[in-house]
Amino acid sequence: MGKTPPLLLPAERIERSILLLRGEKVILDKDIAVLYGVETKALVQATKRNLDRFPADFMFQLTAEEAEALRSQTVTSNGRGGRRYRPYAFTEQGVAMLSSVLRSERAVRVNIEIMRVFVRLRQVMSTQADLVRRLDELEQRYDGQFKAVFDALRQLVAPPERSRRRIGFKET
């Protein structure tokens, strides 16, 4: 085997692109396009030319409500320009299938990194679920004197809440 080219993208950048929609971890078409270094339009066209490779559990188009909810969470254009259609979301399997549609060397290497991030996220979630289960078992064994300890441990294990920064002027 030859030497693997250097990592193109930090894993954190890929992780920031992963969203939870309809109970699935997905990456939006525009984010995948940026990672692959292609235009979103080209990515969507390639996908549409190969729709038989993308069943609903691999890729889906966001509803108008989902697209509006995402748009309201991010800074968007002023209405001129921008997208003319609702975004597509790719699940882990859909991202894997993209490597057969987009065959550039960069797409293959980025795809490998995205798959690694999905696997790592799954491992982290599994470990976290295991810790919660163990805490539940311990809490059942011991009486109320350790309640404060268990509450503190649960706060440490809980995923951090994302704070939404308000956009605009602050009143002083």
CA gap 85, 83 in Å, rounded = 6
From residue 93, how far is each of 59, 77, 163 by CA, in Å?
8, 31, 30
Q: What is the pLDDT of residue 62?
A: 94
Topology of the domain covering 11-114: Mlu1-box Binding Protein; DNA-binding Domain (3.10.260)
Model pLDDT, residue 55: 93
Q: What is the pTM of this model?
A: 0.60
Strand boundaries in 5-162, DSSP class E: 18-21, 24-28, 59-61, 88-91
Q: What is the predicted pLDDT for the residue at 7?
A: 47
Q: pLDDT at position 139, please?
A: 72
Return the pLDDT at 48. 92
Decide: 33 and 42 in contact? Cβ < 8 Å: yes
Instruction: For the chain of 172 residues, list the mean pLDDT of each consecutive stretch of 10.
Output: 54 81 90 88 92 92 89 60 82 85 75 79 77 75 69 73 56 54
Q: At what angle do helices 147-157 and 105-141 cross, to 10 degrees?
A: 170
β-sheet bridge partners, residue 59: 90
Strands 24-28 and 59-61: unpaired
Q: How far is CA 79 from CA 37, 75, 82, in A?
A: 25, 12, 7
For 27, counting Cβ atoms within 10 Å of its Cβ (0-12 exposed, 13-18 middle, 19+ buried), the class is buried
Pairing assessment for the beta strands 88-91 and 24-28 based on DSSP bridges: antiparallel
> Bridge-partner residues for 19, per DSSP?
26
> Residue 3: its pLDDT value, please?
57
Two structure tokens written together for 160: 């951090």
Integer angstrom CA distances of residue 147 from 105, 109, 116, 138, 157: 54, 48, 38, 11, 15
